[in-house]
């Protein structure tokens, strides 16, 4: 099992494909499964790297709370272990905040693609997305917080059951989730967004009930090279329910900015 190490903490990662690396940073509490829809599209023309935040899945879960700087240092450890000099980062929610912090503190970040991300911690309301991994009913119910009712109603039962299976196997328990979510306390990037000069696309479901689309637009507006795109009727985990649209947009963005590294 490939791992990177930050201090005494072991961090699980998986890599597949060849080419310029695309590194995915998960939402608080969610395992690497959440990027499966993008992994399949990216791992071919690019190298896809998926990892579990500390406190999640196969990574270590030291006592919290965790600081945003610590999670960014974990990401740096993964990049170092993979010998990646420049990575395209893709993050959601807390993962988006980690990617922003890495972009201003690391020399290894080429571009950013951020989903459901706001410039201030007070603009995140992620509690409804959490469910104990050993409670399948709660896991299923909490999907309503991250995915639109339209999407859930349109899917065959086995799709949602499959997501529950992945969550039961790879999501964080309550202690891990609380340790991670603490990283958003006091997070306020509004004063330093101008330091994040990498090309950045901020993609937001316009039915996101956990992070307001207006916060995502404000984030994009505050970034020197930010652009905003809304996905109609999509929820917080828009990259799952609008995976085809997202993948086309992501691949187009990566192709357009490969020479910017």
Question: What pLDDT shows up at residue 261?
Answer: 47
pTM: 0.96
| 212, 125 contact by CB (below 8 A) | no
| 71, 184 contact by CB (below 8 A) | no
Q: CA–CA distance from 57 to each of 63, 114, 171, 191 (Å)? A: 15, 22, 6, 34
| 102, 89 contact by CB (below 8 A) | yes
Q: How far apart are CA 5 and CA 191, in angstroms?
A: 31
Q: CA–CA distance from 52 to each of 84, 158, 254 (Å)? A: 17, 25, 23
Question: What pLDDT shows up at residue 259?
Answer: 60
**pLDDT, mean of each 10-residue run, the chain (261 residues):** 95 94 98 94 95 96 97 98 97 98 96 98 97 96 95 91 95 97 97 97 97 98 98 97 97 85 47
Structure tokens at 204: 């937001």
Q: Which of 99, 65, 97 is nearest to 79 (CA)?
A: 99
């Amino acid at each position: 099992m490939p791992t990177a190490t930050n201090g005494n903490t072991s961090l699980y990662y998986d890599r597949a494909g060849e080419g310029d690396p695309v590194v995915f940073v998960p939402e608080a509490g969610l395992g690497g499964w959440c990027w499966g829809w993008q992994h399949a599209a990216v791992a071919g023309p690019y190298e896809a790297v998926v990892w579990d935040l500390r406190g999640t899945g196969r990574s270590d879960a030291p006592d919290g709370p965790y600081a945003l700087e610590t999670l960014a240092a974990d990401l740096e450890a993964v990049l170092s272990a993979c010998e990646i000099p420049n990575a395209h980062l893709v993050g959601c929610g807390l993962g988006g905040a980690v990617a922003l912090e890495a972009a201003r503190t690391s020399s290894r970040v080429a571009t950013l693609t951020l989903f459901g991300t706001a410039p201030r911690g007070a603009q995140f309301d992620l509690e409804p997305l959490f469910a104990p991994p050993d409670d399948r009913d709660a896991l299923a119910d909490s999907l309503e917080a991250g995915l639109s009712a339209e999407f859930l109603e349109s899917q065959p039962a086995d799709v949602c059951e499959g997501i529950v299976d992945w969550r039961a196997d790879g999501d964080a328990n309550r202690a891990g989730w609380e340790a991670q979510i603490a990283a958003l306390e006091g997070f306020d990037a509004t004063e330093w967004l101008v330091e994040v000069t990498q090309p950045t696309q901020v993609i937001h479901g316009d039915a996101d009930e956990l992070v307001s689309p207006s916060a995502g637009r404000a984030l994009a507006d505050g970034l020197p090279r930010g652009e905003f795109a809304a996905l109609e009727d999509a929820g917080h985990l828009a990259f799952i329910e609008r995976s085809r649209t997202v993948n086309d947009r992501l691949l187009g963005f990566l192709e357009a900015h490969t020479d910017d590294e």
